Amino acid sequence: MGEKIAFIGVGRMGSGMVARLMAAGHELTLFDPNAQATAPFQERGAHVAASIAAAAARANVVMASVPGPADAKAAATAVAQAGGARVFVDLSTSGPAASQAIAAILQPAGIAAIDAPVSGGVKGAAGGKLAIMASGPRAALEQVQPLLAELGKVFLVGDKPGLGQTVKLANNLMSAASLAIAAEAMAMGVKAGVDPAVMLDILNASSGRNSATQDKIPRHVLNRQFDFGFANALSFKDVRLCLEEAEGLGVPMVVGAAVRQMLSITQQTFGKDADCTDLIRVVEQWAGCEIRGAQNQE
């Protein structure tokens, strides 16, 4: 028999996860301020609630996939006020401090807090191939682990609130750093006269390969589309949260600070709607070159 789940936030990531949970036979009640996001699932049998509290009142487990820490804390507050649910799972990248605050919000209502941020992008969400970094009370983790397994591979990080978020922030910092350094390296090669496709082939057969050289640049930059699908603003938020956490722990992040600055410049240059790959356009402007595939030459 399926679990009764309230799912908060049916955006690019949330929609893929909702589809996976519905396909597994669970009863979903959805809330998203954008009615167009929930309409396709309502047609397929999901309930749609008018508020977070109304959604939570119908469920045993609440899952949230929202933009940032303030949204996650607001969702937890509404769930605590509604009562009924026993577990709250934050699938967002909210940061350790927010996870600890969420646990404190939910504890008086007897609701367990699980932080389970995900990595793998829109494609991973749709295909059930996410990496899920979960931490929280062991009994609650055991209850929701089968649900999370429908979404991808579950890694149990520990029982302390925020540990999953710590690992996720570290991952997203490394991903952003890989993109920034790949942009600089590729610009150097192109400016010198190297064919970017050839350079990528060499890098991907060598020790410099990373997610930018293997995916973002060949699929979303050489064609000049800059459409990887992860917003620069979200990357900037994640890196900023990571550096704040590192500072609180007394861990120096010299390279991380440079990455944060690059993301800030990208947002200032291309706006809040910029794709994460637009960072490469900043480097191109500074270097006076374009990392363009042969079939996309002007």
pLDDT-derived band at 44, boundaries 50, 70, 90: very high
pLDDT confidence of residue 83: 82
199 and 140 within one domain: no
Helix (H, G, I), strand (E, B) or coil at 5: strand
Shared-domain flag, residues 192 and 290:
yes
pLDDT tens sequence across 1-25: 689 999 999 999 999 999 999 999 9
What pLDDT digit, counting tens, does each position of 98-132 carry?
Answer: 999 999 999 999 999 999 999 998 999 999 999 99
The type of residue at 52 is: I
Same-domain status, 84 and 178: no
CATH of the domain at 290: 1.10.1040.10
150 within 8 A of 176, measured Cβ to Cβ: no
From 160, 185, 209, the end of a domain falls on 160
- Give the end of a domain, one of 126, 160, 194: 160
What is the 8-class DSSP label of residue 238?
A: H
Question: What single-letter DSSP state applies at residue 276?
Answer: T
Phi, psi values for residue 270, rounded to 5°: -115, 0
How confident is the model at residue 263, as a pLDDT?
98
**pLDDT digit string (tens) for 151-204?**
999 999 999 999 999 999 999 999 999 999 999 999 999 999 999 999 999 999
Contacts of residue 132, Cβ cutoff 8 Å, sequence gap at least 6: 91, 116, 117, 118, 148, 151, 152, 153, 154, 155
pTM for this entry: 0.91
Judge if 254 and 120 occupy the same domain: no
Q: Looking at the 3D structure of the chain, how many domains does it have?
A: 2
136 and 67 belong to one structural domain: yes
Q: Which domain holds residue 156?
A: 4-160
Single out the residue in 160, 190, 211 at which a domain terminates: 160
- 88/77 Cα distance (integer angstroms): 11
Read off the pLDDT of each residue in 257-284 and give the average, rounded to a whole number.
98
Coil, strand, or helix at residue 91? coil
Token couple for 179 = 């993109």
| Shared domain check, 147 and 21 | yes
pLDDT on residue 71: 96
Average pLDDT over residues 259-284: 98
pLDDT category of residue 297 using cuts at 50, 70 and 90: low
**Based on the domain organization, do 20 and 123 belong to the same domain?**
yes
Separation between Cα atoms, residue 261 and residue 240, nearest integer Å: 10
**Which residues, including other chains, have CB under 8 Å from residue 145's CB and lie 6 or more apart?**
134, 154, 156
Residues 171, 150, single domain; the answer is no
Same domain, 108 and 208: no
pLDDT at 84: 85
CATH number for position 37: 3.40.50.720
**Packed helices 232-249 and 163-192: angle between N→C axes, nearest 10 degrees:** 120
Distances (CA, A) of 74 to 55, 189, 221, 254: 14, 47, 37, 33
Q: Are residues 134 and 237 in the same domain?
A: no
- Per residue in 48-107, pLDDT (tens digit) is 999 999 999 999 999 999 999 999 999 999 999 998 899 999 999 999 999 999 999 999
Same-domain status, 21 and 143: yes
| Residues 156, 14 within the same domain | yes
Q: Which residues contact 130 (CB under 8 A, 6 or more apart)?
A: 17, 118, 119, 120, 124, 151, 152, 153
Three-class secondary structure of residue 33 per DSSP: coil
pLDDT at 226: 98
pLDDT score recorded for residue 191: 98
pLDDT of residue 15: 96
Mean pLDDT of 271-277: 96
pLDDT digit string, tens, across residues 190-241: 999 999 999 999 999 999 999 999 999 999 999 999 999 899 999 999 999 9
Q: What is the pLDDT of residue 1?
A: 63
Residue 205: burial class (beta carbons within 10 Å; 0-12, 13-18, 19+): exposed
**3-state secondary structure string, 114-147?**
EECCEECHHHHHHHCCEEEEEECCHHHHHHHHHH
Query: What is the tens place of the pLDDT at every residue in 74-90?
Result: 999 999 999 889 999 99
Per-residue confidence (pLDDT) for residue 221, from 0 to 100 = 98
Amino acid, res. 121? G
